[in-house]
Structure 1
Amino acid sequence: MPQDALTGWDDETTAEAYASFARTYPMYSASSRDLAARARLAESRTVVDLCGGTGATAEAILALAPPRAEVVSLDNAPAMQRIGRRTLSDPRLSWVTARAEELAEHASAGGVDAVVCNSAIWKTDVPAVFGAVRRVLRPGGRFVFNIGGGFAGVTHPDAQARSVSPTLGSLIEQIAAREYGTPPASVSGTRRLPLTAVRRYLTAAGLTLIEADVTAQHTTMAERRAWLSIPVFARPEHGFSYDQQMAILRKAYAQTRPDDVTVTSWLVVVAQLNGVQG
């Protein structure tokens, strides 16, 4: 599991930085709108925003859900939810502080029309979460989530055709290696969650895969820099203070152009209970 899956989220500085980023840049709002649309919420009565953070995805769900729908944002970081409660006020929205794996303890069995999870499912105990989702979904209910391309092992054609090189991440590694003697970062195979594994876990949980798309998200270097400035995402991951990470980031960013486009790939998955088409 990645470092940011385990530590750092229940921190005021991280939560404030994350919320500021989500308000300023379209990364999370755009992906949230896409996931909410795929969940088909027009007739929903209860929707869960899983690993909901400060509420970016809940906001997208609320925009599509019926006026009488109930939306539950579940996250295990109180600091993130405190900001969400301040900035997103809607009588249809409630906040539950709990781990994703504990979903079934906080939602009625068979009473949820859709579960949406943006940018977080690979940070959980995936089989346990899929099982919990299956227990709370109604027949025909949808489970919609995305997986970062690096973790899913997928690459959108745009990521090959339009991404600039070197990337901000590779420049950070080069500077860390040159100035601090840090070995190049390696990607562990245990971090990967490919579609074959997703399908296997869904089947084991009693859920049916009905859609799997590889999408591309286009961002600028300026947006990427802002994302890497959030403490929990700062690089290099280990052995550096935040001040050192930001010093390296400034040097790396100085070697790029703010408007250069960087493309990230995502695997977007839609599953349904019992294969009932809705």
Structure 2
Amino acid sequence: MAPLDAVLGWDEDSNAEAYSAFTRDFPMYSATSRDLAHRARLADSRLVVDLCGGAGATAEAILALAPATARVLSLDAAAAMQRVGRRTVSDPRLTWVTAPAEDLAAHIDMGSADAVVCNSAIWKTDVPRVFAAVRRVLRPGGRLVFNIGGGFAGVRHPEEEAARGTLSLNSLIHQIATRDHGYAPPVAEPVPPKLSLAALTAHLAVAGMNVLDTEVVAQHGTMAEKRAWLSIPLFARPEGDFTHAQRMRILADAYALTTPQTPTVTSWLVVTAQRPGEER
């Protein structure tokens, strides 16, 4: 659950600005975006879709790999994110469309896209509808490449598994909030994955897409990067009746107990799918 004072989520200026700053200051989104773009095989592409493209970090990676003649369409439902993106990513090949992912097929001709890339956001959509829309806009042989955080997909890379038991910044936040603010953390109970690989495979099959590859990868970061992520209002912790200022004070106290360059590991499930047909 997002904090109560996150207000309008991704379509709120403070979240959009903080998120965009994070993508510029830390390597997580540029690294994951480059990985997805490489898997999409963009060398001969003419039109590539950056689905749920936010402020344009993934579009930049696509533009760097696509031919000079290719067009990139970045589609996102949050106008605030795209306002930031238009200011920070300038390329005549890039078109911004403000619309939900489910409405993709209303904005692109059938069979005209060589690839659709979605970084970190597919789980927030109506997945069956989105996969059907992607199948409609992809040319035969065109690829859909996306990733999902390991916690949402119910997977864990061995490197993250090996790090279990070490004190995380989230754990420290809960400890300080409990000690200093009377916070009562929710009882930890097993939570089924929001979107397991089995569910994804089934949804893709119904949409008429073939799974080419799946991989659980490790993304390496630092405690400083984790602090910056938790400073974005939408992700600030702990949950409950705290103001954002209170959460930032708790975060500062927790971060003071860590070392900025302490390595962190997160897991991601990466899926490459394809519309059946001959590749160009």
- TM-score w.r.t. the length of structure 2 is 0.93
2-structure distance, mates of 1:196, 1:113: 26
Q: 2:250 aligns to what?
A: 248
Q: 1:199 aligns to what?
A: 201
Secondary structure at the residue paired with 1:94?
A: strand
**Which string of whole-angstrom CA distances, capped at 9 and with x for unpartnered residues, describes residues 200-235 of structure 1?**
010011111111000001100001000110111111
Residue 224 (structure 1) aligned to one of 198, 213, 226: 226
Letter matched to residue 247 of structure 1: R
Judged with a 3 Å threshold, the aligned counterparts in structure 2 of structure 1 residues 68 and 163 are, in CA distance, closer, same or farther, namely: farther
Unaligned runs of 5+ in 1: none
- 1:180, distance to aligned residue in structure 2 (A): 2.6
Secondary structure at the residue paired with 2:212?
A: strand
**Which string of whole-angstrom CA distances, capped at 9 and with x for unpartnered residues, describes residues 76-122 of structure 1?**
11111111111111110000000111111111111111000001111
2-structure distance, mates of 1:147, 1:43: 26
Secondary structure at the residue paired with 2:9?
A: coil
Conserved? CA contact 2:149–2:267, under 8 Å = yes
Letter matched to residue 51 of structure 2: L
Residue 274 (structure 2) aligned to one of 267, 272, 275: 272
Judged with a 3 Å threshold, the aligned counterparts in structure 2 of structure 1 residues 75 and 188 are, in CA distance, closer, same or farther, namely: farther
Amino-acid identity (%)? 63
Judged with a 3 Å threshold, the aligned counterparts in structure 2 of structure 1 residues 199 and 64 are, in CA distance, closer, same or farther, namely: same
Judged with a 3 Å threshold, the aligned counterparts in structure 2 of structure 1 residues 277 and 209 are, in CA distance, closer, same or farther, namely: farther
Matches within 5 A, 1:154-169: 154-162=155-163, 165-169=166-170
Conserved? CA contact 1:53–1:75, under 8 Å = yes
**Which string of whole-angstrom CA distances, capped at 9 and with x for unpartnered residues, describes residues 32-82 of structure 1?**
000000000001111000010110000000001011111000011111111
Q: 1:213 aligns to what?
A: 215
2-structure distance, mates of 1:269, 1:98: 23
- 1:6, distance to aligned residue in structure 2 (A): 9.7
2-structure distance, mates of 1:276, 1:177: 58
Judged with a 3 Å threshold, the aligned counterparts in structure 2 of structure 1 residues 214 and 58 are, in CA distance, closer, same or farther, namely: same
Q: Does 1:174 align with 2:175?
A: yes
- 1:127, distance to aligned residue in structure 2 (A): 1.0
